[in-house]
Amino acid sequence: MQKIKKIIDQLIASDRFSMDSLYEKVWPIFSSDTLLADSISSLNSHFSKTHYKKLACGILRHAFLIELVKLPKIETTKFRTRWYSQLQGDPRECSFSDCLKIAHDLIFTLTKSWLNNPKNLEALNLFLDYSILPYELPIDYIDRPIPTDTTIKIHRRGNITWIVNETVIRTLKLRQYLVNPQTSPDAEFFKKVINDKIKVKTYLTDRVLTGDNKTNREKRWEVHPRSVHFALRRVCIGIEYKLITQICAFQGFPESSRNILQQQGILPEEMEIYRCPITLDPLVFQDFKEELMNPTHGKSNFQVGHLNPLKLDDSNSIASGHTPENLAWISADGNRIQGNRSLEEVRTLLKRITHNYENEGLA
């Protein structure tokens, strides 16, 4: 198996990493392990050739690799191994031998029990058909190390596994329905909003040049686990579900589509018209669609924001951190008013301003 390590190291060291090359050179050696024979046979029987390759690439990607921001400029990310020198002493570090064991565990779990659950199989096929991130699979960490624990690794055997819950399934079914022209009258719009807005704001970090953990467009679950920008994959999927659900509650969203999604249990049964949490103005679906499909450079009236900025992270508040409770669509006016304040601070300010206008007879 040291041959696998040598190949991975060589591929990662190249200027342009190729997942196809990794699959073609590593997977045949890896899958030839006699311990994996039954599991590999099971995967071949469950999946088409296309899905099988996507699944294999995803397992290799999540077991052995990480996308680290390049230092010192913090401009782009690059694939690295979990044993790369930049990770020395970092909780994301993992030896090759342990990565190999993680890959084995993922395959054994998948084929010995996990795929026997029809919902798990359905979710996995939806990921393979409707992924919005490269090599996206329902693989997640079980736990995030507590901030005060500086010894435990996050990428370790026993802490990475296949995870599916009801929110994950609903999110994938929302993707399936909304981006398919046969089911959605606004398929092109939703493809664009998911790729241009939701994917970036939900799954990737902003450019952060201050503090201990500088980052830029890394996957949320691959930044340092003590960073306020960290979030587990399933938490990010929950954010995607919330943001798309809010769009489905925009004023003027096609009622027929909403009714179908509600009848299928994908959207909540009761949905009020969505309002900007700052201005309380309703957000209009047709206005958003027109802006996104015919954009004006540098102008956006519909933005995704943290209700309580990440730098104000408060572990005692449910609306804190990169969580579904703390993200929402915000109007441009609302975003300008909020600035770096928390939602509570903004509302206190607006009430004071309103009170002052009333006292002066200007309301």
The band of 319, judged by pLDDT with boundaries at 50, 70 and 90, is low
Domain end position, chosen among 97, 117, 137: 117
Query: What's the whole-number average pLDDT of the chain?
Result: 94
d(CA 248, CA 282): 13
- Comparing C-alpha atoms, which of 190, 137, 197, 187 is closest to residue 162? 137
Residue 358 falls within a domain, yes or no?
A: yes
Q: Do 239 and 355 lie in a common domain?
A: yes
pLDDT tens-place string over residues 160-180: 999 999 999 999 999 999 999
Domain end position, chosen among 117, 141, 166: 117
pLDDT tens-place string over residues 121-148: 999 999 999 999 999 999 999 999 987 8
- Residue carrying the six token digits 């943290």: 306
| 8 A C-beta contact, residue 1 and residue 100 | yes
* 1 vs 12, more confident: 12
The band of 20, judged by pLDDT with boundaries at 50, 70 and 90, is very high
Residue 8, sorted as left (phi over 0), alpha (psi -120 to 50) or beta, turns out to be: alpha
Residue 152 falls within a domain, yes or no?
A: no
Q: Do 110 and 221 lie in a common domain?
A: no
The band of 244, judged by pLDDT with boundaries at 50, 70 and 90, is very high
Q: Do 225 and 359 lie in a common domain?
A: yes
Residue 170 falls within a domain, yes or no?
A: no
d(CA 75, CA 266): 38
Q: Do 316 and 233 lie in a common domain?
A: yes
Is the predicted pLDDT of residue 41 greater than 60, yes or no?
A: yes
Residue 162 falls within a domain, yes or no?
A: no
Domain count, the chain: 2
pLDDT tens-place string over residues 189-208: 999 999 999 999 999 999 88
The whole-number pLDDT of residue 318 equals 54
Residue 186 falls within a domain, yes or no?
A: no
| pTM listed for this prediction | 0.94
Domain end position, chosen among 73, 102, 117: 117
Percent pLDDT > 90 in the chain is 88
The band of 264, judged by pLDDT with boundaries at 50, 70 and 90, is very high
Q: Do 224 and 352 lie in a common domain?
A: yes
21 lies in which domain range?
1-117
Residue 144 falls within a domain, yes or no?
A: no
pLDDT tens-place string over residues 220-240: 999 999 999 999 999 999 999
Q: Do 242 and 332 lie in a common domain?
A: yes
Residue 164 falls within a domain, yes or no?
A: no
**H/E stretch holding 141:** strand 139-141
| 8 A C-beta contact, residue 289 and residue 251 | no
For the residues of 59-97, what is the DSSP string, one character each?
A: HHHHHHEEEEEPTTT---EEEEETT-GGGTT-TT---HH
Q: Do 222 and 340 lie in a common domain?
A: yes
| 8 A C-beta contact, residue 39 and residue 111 | yes
Q: Do 324 and 220 lie in a common domain?
A: yes
d(CA 279, CA 262): 28
The whole-number pLDDT of residue 314 equals 55
The band of 45, judged by pLDDT with boundaries at 50, 70 and 90, is very high
CA angle 275, 130, 218 (to 5 degrees): 75
The whole-number pLDDT of residue 342 equals 92
Residue 187 falls within a domain, yes or no?
A: no
Residues facing 208 on adjacent strands: 215
The band of 317, judged by pLDDT with boundaries at 50, 70 and 90, is low
- State the chain's maximal CA–CA distance in angstroms: 83
For the residues of 23-65, what is the DSSP string, one character each?
A: HHHHHHHHHT-GGGHHHHHHHHHHS-HHHHHHHHHHHHHHHHE
